[in-house]
Amino acid sequence: MNDTECPFSIFARWYDAARQCGLREPAAMALATADAAGQPSLRMVLLKSHGPDGFVFYTNLESRKGGELVANPKAALCFHWMPLERQVRIQGRVEKVSDEEADAYFASRPRDSQIGAWASDQSRPMKGMRDLEKNVALMAVRFHVGHIPRPDHWSGFRVVPHLIEFWQAKPFRLHERTLYTRTGDDGDWQVTRLFP
Ligand SMILES: Cc1cc2nc3c(=O)[nH]c(=O)nc-3n(C[C@H](O)[C@H](O)[C@H](O)COP(=O)(O)O)c2cc1C
């Protein structure tokens, strides 16, 4: 890692390596949000695209995380690629992806996943699995032929980072930590080495 390389290009390199190291879900990342009172909550989601604009995942906008991100549009992400002994931590503001971007991704999903997005009231209580099965059956009838539109309650969020930290394990716990801090809107980053 050299100090002139932009953090998005380092991330792309590391992510490619993670996809080639035999991991079942290299896209899995922990997503931390917080409610209006500052109470953090954490869960896994899948990274669906990344680049200088940020890091995108998709979800139900009416889920717990969806509500928290509307009330407090800030998030943190954490990847751990164990075979590579690498961790990447990201912190930033959050924005919704455009309707066009969400439509295109939704259209690329398997039909059963599209029906699932319509059927699941994610994060809300249900009496039992029969509630979910009933919703799936109803939606399968409703959308039995033709194009399935994206539900209004389902879209993507983009985490636009101001901090990205790369962690690489080294022998004797003398790990290498490199923190990139965005210094303005012009794409400049300050590089800081941190004690492990
Ligand atoms: C490996 C993994 C990947 C997941 N990916 C997603 C995802 O991309 N989007 C999503 O909404 N939930 C995903 N989930 C489920 C979430 O962890 C979580 O249970 C769900 O989104 C509800 O979270 P909430 O109640 O905090 O909103 C995933 C779970 C695991 C274990």
Residue 50's DSSP bridge partners are 55
Task: Report the C-alpha gap between 177 and 188 in whole angstroms.
Answer: 19
Asked if residue 51 has pLDDT above 70, the reply is yes
Mean pLDDT score, 165-177? 95
pLDDT reported for residue 125 = 96
In tens, the pLDDT along 107-152 reads 999 999 999 999 999 999 999 999 999 999 999 999 999 999 999 9
- Percentage of residues in the chain having pLDDT higher than 90: 94
The candidate with the shortest Cα–Cα distance to 135, out of 71, 60, 75, 79, is 60
What is the residue type of 51? G
Which residues, 6+ apart, have CB-to-CB distance to 86 below 8 Å? 14, 18, 79, 80, 166, 167, 168, 169
Position 75 scores a pLDDT of 98
Binned at pLDDT 50, 70 and 90, residue 185 comes out as confident
Going by alpha carbons, the residue nearest to atom 5 of ligand 1 is 45
Share of the chain above pLDDT 70, in %: 99
The 3-state DSSP class for residue 111 equals: helix
| Residue 31, beta-bridge partner list | 43, 77
- Residue 1's pLDDT is 66
For a substitution probing ligand 1, which of 31, 44, 49, 63 has the most ligand atoms within 8 Å of its CB? 44
Is the CB of 35 inside a 6 Å radius of any atom of ligand 1? no
What's the predicted TM-score (pTM) here? Answer: 0.97
Q: Is 12 in the pocket of ligand 1 (CB under 6 A)?
A: no
| pLDDT per residue as tens digits for the range 70-82 | 999 999 999 999 9
Average pLDDT over residues 40-64: 98
Ligand 1 centroid to 14 CA: how many Å? 23
- Residue 101's pLDDT is 98
Q: How far is the CA of 132 from the centre of ligand 1 (A)?
A: 16
pLDDT category, 184, cuts 50, 70, 90? Answer: confident
Q: What is the pLDDT of residue 181?
A: 97
155 close to ligand 1 (CB < 6 Angstrom)? no
Ligand 1 mean position to 131 CA, how many Å? 19
The whole-chain average pLDDT of the chain stands at 96
At residue 25's C-alpha, the angle toward residues 21 and 26, to 5°, is 55
Q: Write the residue with the smallest CA distance to atom 7 of ligand 1.
A: 45
Domains delineated in the chain: 7-109+152-194 (2.30.110.10)
**Ligand 1: which of 45, 77, 80 to mutate, judged by most atoms within 8 Å of the beta carbon?**
45
Which residues are the active-site residues?
173
What does the alpha-carbon distance between residue 28 and residue 43 come to, in Å, rounded to a whole number? Answer: 10
Assess contact for 116 and 136: CB atoms under 8 A: yes
Q: How many angstroms separate the alpha carbon of residue 43 from the centre of ligand 1?
A: 6
pLDDT single digits (tens) 1-29? 667 889 999 999 999 999 999 999 999 99
